[in-house]
A and B are shown apart, each in its own frame.
Chain A
């Protein structure tokens, strides 16, 4: 089925989210929609899927004009969508999930689960999904849940499949599997619209690429375009991918975590006996798929979550048991993983957010009074230093773009002398230009001699920044490896495969090149705890 979008315009109030977008998806083609967060990709697809009504423009299917009043219409017309966040009922089985919304019934209104089961098995066998129709969704790994979503769409005979940021939640191996599935679907004649901001994947799988920036199509490219070219199109100016960072100059090991065990609020052990250490002037990246204990690890270090067991020492001082306030005062700079939830008070001004953790200390406080002048001066300095694009220090932070919001958080945390800097997902949802800037700042902090911990689910970011990489899986550290460890090895480790095995397996997979395995620099279990003992 050939899909054409002509002159699609969608406005939200004064904001034009889509500006006269034209897009043609040929049958059996993988069409990548590339753009930064906020560029308008998802809006466009939501228009196509019937979730929004376009203000202007037409949708043509095989040359016929169609209007969709809702997802039901779109589904009936053969358009399927896999959302970034899955629309699955956790307690349903795979078969139930697939039939949800268009349940087959037998006489008397009984659900015809057998038909659904058969259909799941059929599709699963045909594309090699390996799905058990009776498995319960919540027990399945994320990658498999995604396949359930795809089967849902296919079961409704989708001819055009929209995948919205499908790789955001996947391990590298799962991503490879997904790419395989996309190729098979394509061979079977399904058109795929692949929404992403990851250049590597686009180059690997797309037949043609359309780049969207600020709601408008700014160009199209072939997959053989270089990553730099694509990034330039996406950002609108030259960007340098790849950071030139000097090798680390290691100082003393001042930050040591030993046997740290943390339970989340549901009582589930989220961090299970984790040990590692970071030296001054070193960046340790904690890699792993989202939800493997990284969040709880950082929150325990900050003191927001209580530690069940273990110790955390910074410059010889035990942090476990101290309040977040005192830990921050002890020299921790902390960039939380979700700036909108933990990092910023969105209806506070830029200036207020820049002192959120220092409002009660000099020079911002005089007694119980706030020194608004000092606040303003600080804001103006940080805005200039970090190139925060804002109408002024008095603007509400919630009105800034994601990248600028993140700059506010990072500026705040780096604007005081630190003994340890922790940044979780420092560039999530941040535009490419700001990523470059933030990465430079983080490396600069390292070079100033601060131990740095970066938690990231993006392997690109990990590879870019890390001097060493600790891979977490189900609350444990699978291994700590050198910063130049190949992605294939890291990917396997992120799925829980121990280091040696992962290296073995990666070598087999990628014979003969790609054979430079990472050297284990630290096994992670009996790390140097010298400074901790000196105390």
Chain B
């Protein structure tokens, strides 16, 4: 991150020439936006951890602020301050321990299944998050901001679901075809944005956002057709058992083979970005499109391919959601997956391992937050705040450094 840190005004020896050159082709780098993007996605691990700590602290303050007992104790704060602080402490401790019980291990459960149930739920929730975030990260690394994971997840889920309940194929083949359908649908959907960017220079952020709406309303419409729906409910028929992702731990748990796909996807993205010529090109275009073009790479073709790969992963995420977890389609099939995926990609600093861990964290917070709300009455919105704050702090490393009084990273460039 240090090398992207802007030196103090005038510190850099003014680099001659090209800066003032208007010859930025339509396909050129995103300039400032991609700079910020790279800063966020390559931030240091320390900042990430500290950002999380900071977010938990602020979350604690909010928990205290909304807790009734604390409010009561605050009424006579000056008479008996100890009451206030013990109430505050117990509110935070209760809420965060409920969060932990809901997300990781329920140490109060009676049997083993009960103990590990939260963990399996976390893994289940993390599965599509991780896969979709990997897709977003591929875009980030190549300098493209794919905001359209949501739409791509929806398209992937739609086609996977359709294959799952409308076609009746032999066991084994059915699942593979259904998964592939989702992958292709997501890839094509994102490919539209890549193609438009390459051909017309249309910014991928705008196009993908718009395509999100198109995908959502398309699904809503499809759910009213007889092909998808049987009754009056905006809900599709159920996916054939032959197209469902097998459960991993038996009927008691929802954890399914989608999680294995998430692991495979992470390995695949690692290989793609660091061990393949395609990833080499993605990264080169993402870091410096000018240099990539001068070295003979086709920047525009790369944009299309990046979007297709990115969308294909998001489509796979949608497929696991419908074939593994939900088993049927509703217009809420994607939830806020596509947007959470952006956050997870940022949190994981666009690296497969980081995303895997960030996806688990995020899935855990989502699952645990619900338990926290039920058992302590702390609103789940606090979890959303924590999630958002983590990203906010990661996006502003100087802020985190200021809070923890860390030295700023060395300024690399020195004046001539």
Interface residues of A (CB under 8 A from B): 12-15, 17, 37-43, 46, 51-52, 83-85, 168, 264-266, 290, 295, 302, 304-305, 323-329, 334, 336-338, 340-348, 352, 356-357, 359-360, 364-365, 368-370, 372, 396, 398-399, 428-429
Contact = CB atoms under 8 A, between A and B. Distances in A.
Given A295-B17, A345-B284, 17 more contacts: A38-B414, A40-B416, A41-B416, A43-B415, A51-B10, A85-B16, A264-B23, A265-B22, A336-B294, A341-B291, A343-B291, A343-B294, A345-B287, A347-B42, A352-B280, A370-B275, A428-B16
A356 B284 contact: yes
A426 B13 CA distance: 18
Contact of A338 (B16, B277, B287): B16
B416 A345 contact: no
A348 B283 contact: yes
Considering residues A39, A40, A295, A347, which has the most beta carbons from chain B within 10 angstroms of its beta carbon? A347
Interface in B272-320: 275-278, 280-281, 283-284, 287-288, 290-298
B287 A265 contact: no
Contacts of A348: 283-284, 287
Contact of B281 (A43, A359, A396): A359
A357 B296 contact: yes
A13 B9 contact: no
A136 B15 CA distance: 26
Closest 6 CB pairs of A and B: A13-B410, A325-B296, A43-B415, A357-B295, A356-B295, A12-B411
Contacts of A347: 3, 38, 42, 287
A345 B411 contact: no
B53 interface: no
A341 B410 contact: no
Contact of A40 (B18, B295, B414): B414
Nearest to B15: A340
25 contacts: A12-B11, A38-B13, A38-B416, A43-B416, A85-B14, A264-B22, A295-B21, A302-B294, A305-B23, A323-B296, A325-B298, A328-B295, A338-B16, A341-B290, A342-B293, A345-B291, A346-B287, A348-B287, A352-B280, A352-B284, A356-B295, A360-B280, A372-B275, A399-B412, A429-B16
Contacts of B22: 264-266
Contacts of B13: 37-38, 42, 429
A405 to B, nearest CB: 12
B25 interface: yes
A338 B17 contact: yes
A266 B24 CA distance: 10
Interface in B21-73: 21-25, 38, 42
Contacts of A290: 16-17
A234 to B, nearest CB: 13
Contact of A344 (B15, B16, B288): B288
A40 B294 contact: no
A365 B277 contact: yes
Interface string B312-334: 00000000000000000000000
Given A13-B411, A38-B414, A324-B296, A360 B283 contact: no
A324 B13 CA distance: 31
A326 B293 CA distance: 12
A368 B280 CA distance: 10
A337 B415 CA distance: 20
Contact of B15 (A46, A338, A364): A338
Nearest to A412: B295
A342 B291 contact: yes
Contact of A304 (B16, B294, B409): B294
Contacts of A352: 280, 284
Nearest to B26: A265
Contact of B23 (A52, A265, A368): A265
A359 B276 CA distance: 10
B8 interface: yes
Given A42-B415, A356-B291, A265 B17 contact: no
Contacts of B16: 85, 168, 290, 338, 428-429
A77 to B, nearest CB: 19
B379 interface: no
B7 interface: yes
Contacts of B8: 52
Contact of A369 (B11, B275, B412, B416): B275
Contacts of B21: 295
